[in-house]
Every structure is written in C-alpha cells, then in structure tokens.
C-alpha cells in the first residue's frame, strides 16, 4: 500500500471515528455539479498515475487522481480512446471525478455510458475499509455490481482509489453531416437514423442545424452521406465545444437544465432555448422557468430533469426520487457509509 493510500485511509478512519464529514476533491473540475456541501477536504489528486495499460487487451487501469488528459494521450498513441467521450470542463479533470459523476459526451447513445466501460475498482468506504471489486480481485457485497454502482454516486458511497476501464479503437475516419431544418424534422431524422445501420457516433441540433457525426472508414461515411443528404464536413469544432459546454449557448447566467427524455419526444413547451444531444434523448435547456414547471413538463413525457448549472439561486440539483427508490438509495448509503461522512448531501439532502 502506498503512503498516499495509507494517508487517505487514515483520514477516512479519523473522520469515521469523529463522525466528521469529508469533501472529496480531485481536480475540482466538477465542483459545480451537485449540491453544495461542507466538510474537511480529502484530496485525492496526489493519488495519480497509470498502473497498467494493455493495448492488445483493450484495458487500462489508473489511479483516481490521474489527469484525464494523461489517460487520453496514452490511449491516442496506440490508436485507442475512451468510448464514452467524457467531458473535462477543465484541464485539471481526473479519472476519479469523471467516473464518480458518470458523465459521458456526444458518443454516449452509440457507444455506451461511462459505467458501461468500468471493469473494476478499488475504493475506501465510509468505515475506512479498502475494498476491491471486479478486475483481478472480486469482493461481493450483497450481490451489487459495486464498481458500476460507484458511477454517478458522486463520492457518497466510497472514495475511488483505482479504476479499470475497457477502451476501444479509434475510428479510421470521422466526418459530420450538417442539415438545416426545423426541430421536429431534426428529431424525426435523429430517431430514424438511430434505428438504421449507419455509422453514427453523435447527433445534435442547435440554432436551426442538425449535426450528425459519422465514424467508420471513408467508404462507409461516403455511402451514409449519400443516404442522409446534407453537407459533409471534416474536423469541425462543434463536437468538442458541445462536449465541453463551450458553445455560446452555455455562456449564460441563467440556469442550465439537463433533461433526459425518449429520443423521439416532442419539443417541450417551455420558455428558453434548447440544444439537443444524444439523438434527442438529452436536451440542454437554458431557462428561467420555475423548477416545478420544468420538472412537471418532463415528467409528463416519462423523463427527468437535472439542474446542471445554477448561478442564480439554491435549488436541488437532482429530480426528486420516488419513495421506493429513495429508500433504496438510503439503504445503500447506510451500507457503504454508515456514519454519513463521505460527501454528505451532495446528491440529496439526506444522502
């Protein structure tokens, strides 16, 4: 066990004994995400470095504090990549924060989410126990797929130490089809194309234009373009700007909502502006509408709404859970962090 790991475990043990809350911190690139919390800082940024990388096996294992850019650079040298195309939001973004938030980029509906690539992990739970799941060492906890359970838990269930991930080969070529159309036409096309054998790797709608990224070999891209129409472009900045929320749309003091819906759900009748991602299944809404109105509108279509960025007032980030799901969350929190010391309240007030 490294000195840094021992120090992290000791800090958690002391906090557990004193029932003192801890605020897990890596690169700080996702500090805006989730509810604001108070606690002593436990810094995992020093727990950094790639432990192993086997290009022929398509597997990489790295410490949680490893910069995401370091991992992606190493993969790129071998013609490989992280299939879920994670956003960074900062040069300081780390692997641990990326997995803890379970954030995925435009490629997500076509290649899977962050949790789909996690093979195993090592964590420190709220009782300062070092636990291994998946990978070479399997420790079963009440039947849960714990490594993937860590994805999206925002550090409330455990402090991530090491993570093993599947990686994928980079495509031979990528190009983007751009079509000018209205939003309903764009939704119909995105939904239709997702059901066809097209080499899609991203689709989005913004400012009256439908953007569809194709990833394959040149011949397949050319054939797909002939079937889809529109203008074909290479090396556009749109996808990077969308992934990192650098589009002008996100440069606002208004709250930005992350709406999850069926890909063919109609446009919502809400005030504000919308950027569509994930083939229409993810919608970024910039609006001053009330939280209740937004969430009720999304619920009516079977979806949920998350307050992703909020510079105006204090509102709960995540959609309210049903009583049954909320009870399940509370039971998981109690099992992994009985003293409620790890990022308490980051997701919900009592979790």
Distances (CA, A) of 332 to 103, 146, 150: 21, 11, 11
Which of 221, 243, 265 is where one domain is finished? 243
CATH code (residue 62): 3.30.465.10
Same domain, 7 and 88: yes
Look at residues 224, 243, 262 and tell me which one is the last residue of a structural domain.
Answer: 243
Residue 255 lies in a domain: no
Please check whether residue 69 lies inside any domain of the structure: yes
Q: Got the DSSP string for 51-114?
A: EEEETTTTEEEEETTSBHHHHHHHHHHTTEE-TT----SSTT-BHHHHHHHT---TTHHHH--G
Per-residue DSSP letter, 150: T
Residue 260 bridge partners (DSSP)? 282, 304
Q: Tell me the pLDDT tens digit for each residue of 17-34.
A: 999 999 999 999 999 998
34 and 80 in a common domain:
yes
Report how far residue 271's alpha carbon sits from residue 299's, in angstroms, rounded to the nearest whole number: 17
Are 67 and 164 contained in the same domain? yes
Which residues make Cβ contacts (< 8 Å) with residue 73, sequence separation at least 6? none
The answer to whether position 297 is within a domain reads: no
Decide if 154 contacts 340 (C-beta within 8 A).
no
pLDDT of 324 over the 50 cut: yes
Lowest-pLDDT range of 140-144, 185-189, 209-213, 326-330: 140-144
* 94 & 196 share domain: no
Asked whether the beta carbons of 23 and 47 are under 8 A apart, the reply is: no
Closest CA to 29 of 107, 86, 78, 98: 98
Same domain membership, residue 177 and residue 145: no
Q: Does 309 have pLDDT greater than 80?
A: yes
Please indicate, yes or no, whether residues 144 and 63 belong to a single structural domain of this protein: yes
The predicted pLDDT at position 320 comes to 86
Q: Is the pLDDT of residue 193 over 70?
A: yes
Residues 53 and 97 in one domain: yes
For residues 114 and 10, membership in a common domain is answered with yes
Q: Are residues 53 and 201 in the same domain?
A: no
What is the DSSP pairing of strand 173-180 with strand 209-216?
A: antiparallel
Q: 15 and 134: one domain? A: yes
Identify the residue with better confidence: 240 or 142: 240
Mean pLDDT over residues 206-218, rounded?
97
Instruction: Name the residue with tokens 């440069």.
Output: 251
Residues 128 and 95 in one domain: yes
Pair 210, 203: CB distance under 8 Å: yes
Which of 128, 151, 169 lies at the terminal end of a domain, its last residue?
A: 169
CB 305 within 8 Å of CB 273? no
Stretch 56-66: mean pLDDT, rounded?
96
When pLDDT is cut at 50, 70 and 90, the band that residue 253 belongs to is confident
Name the pTM for this structure.
0.91
The domain total for the chain is: 2
CATH classification of the domain holding 220: 3.30.70
Range of the domain at 217: 173-243
């Amino acid at each position: 066990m490294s000195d840094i790991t021992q120090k992290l475990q000791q800090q958690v043990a002391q906090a557990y004994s004193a029932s003192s809350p801890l605020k897990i911190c890596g690169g700080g690139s996702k500090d805006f995400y989730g509810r604001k919390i108070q606690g002593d800082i436990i810094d995992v940024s020093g727990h950094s470095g790639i432990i192993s990388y086997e290009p022929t096996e398509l597997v990489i294992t790295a410490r949680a504090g490893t910069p995401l850019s370091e991992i992606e650079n190493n993969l790129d040298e071998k013609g490989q990549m992280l299939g879920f195309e994670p956003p960074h939001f900062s040069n300081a973004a780390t692997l641990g924060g990326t997995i803890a938030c379970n954030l995925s980029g435009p490629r997500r509906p076509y290649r899977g989410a962050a949790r789909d690539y996690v093979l195993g992990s090592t964590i420190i739970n709220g009782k300062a126990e070092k636990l291994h799941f998946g990978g070479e060492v399997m420790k079963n906890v009440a039947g849960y797929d714990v490594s993937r359970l860590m994805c999206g838990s925002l550090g409330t269930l455990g402090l991530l130490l090491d993570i093993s991930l599947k990686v994928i080969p980079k495509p031979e070529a990528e190009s983007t089809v751009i079509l000018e159309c209205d939003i309903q036409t764009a939704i119909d096309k995105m939904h239709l194309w997702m059901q066809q054998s097209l080499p899609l790797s991203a689709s989005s709608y913004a400012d009256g234009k439908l953007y569809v990224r194709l990833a394959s070999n040149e011949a397949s891209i050319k054939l797909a373009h002939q079937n889809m129409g529109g203008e074909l472009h290479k090396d556009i900045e749109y996808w990077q700007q969308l992934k990192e929320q650098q589009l002008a749309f996100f440069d606002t003091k208004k709250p930005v909502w992350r709406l999850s819906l069926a890909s063919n759900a109609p446009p919502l009748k809400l005030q504000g502006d919308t950027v569509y991602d994930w083939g229409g299944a993810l919608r970024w809404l910039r609006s001053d509408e009330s939280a209740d109105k937004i969430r009720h509108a999304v619920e009516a279509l079977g979806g949920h709404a998350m307050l992703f960025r909020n510079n105006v007032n204090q509102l709960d980030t995540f959609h309210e859970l049903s009583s049954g799901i909320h009870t399940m969350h509370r039971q998981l929190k109690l099992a992994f962090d009985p003293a409620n010391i790890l990022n308490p309240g980051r997701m919900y007030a009592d979790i």
